[in-house]
Amino acid sequence: MVTIAACQRLQRSWFAAVSSATGGRMFTTHGSEWVWLPARRELILLFPLEISPAGIRPALAEATRLGAHRVGVWLGGGVNGSPLTGLGFSPGWQPWWMAASVEDPAGYDDAAATLTTEVPDYRGPLLQELRVVRSQPRQAWHAEARVDGSIAGAGYSFYPSGVSGLKGLGGIFNMEVLPDYQRRGLGTALLSRLSSAAAASGAENLALNATPQGFELYSRRGFELIGRGQTYWLEL
Whether residue 230 is contained in a domain is answered as: no
Q: Are residues 34 and 61 in the same domain?
A: yes
Whether residue 231 is contained in a domain is answered as: no
- pLDDT tens, residue by residue, 63-110: 999 999 999 999 999 999 999 999 999 999 999 999 999 999 999 999
Q: Are residues 69 and 181 in the same domain?
A: no
Q: Are residues 28 and 45 in the same domain?
A: yes
Q: Are residues 216 and 129 in the same domain?
A: yes
Q: CA separation (Å) from 127 to 22, 24, 131, 198?
A: 10, 15, 7, 22
pLDDT for residue 189 is more than 90: yes
Number of domains the chain contains? 2
Q: Are residues 65 and 86 in the same domain?
A: yes
Distance CA 114, CA 155 (A): 11
* DSSP designation for 79: S
Whole-number pLDDT of residue 128: 98
- pLDDT tens, residue by residue, 108-135: 999 999 999 999 999 999 999 999 999 9
Whole-number pLDDT of residue 213: 82
Q: Are residues 33 and 141 in the same domain?
A: no
- pLDDT tens, residue by residue, 61-72: 999 999 999 999
Task: Please say which residue of 68, 96, 124 terminates a domain.
Answer: 96
Whole-number pLDDT of residue 1: 87
Task: Please say which residue of 96, 122, 138 terminates a domain.
Answer: 96
Domain of 162? 98-225
Whole-number pLDDT of residue 212: 82
- Contact partners, residue 132, CB within 8 Å, separation at least 6: 17, 18, 21, 22, 140, 156
Whether residue 233 is contained in a domain is answered as: no
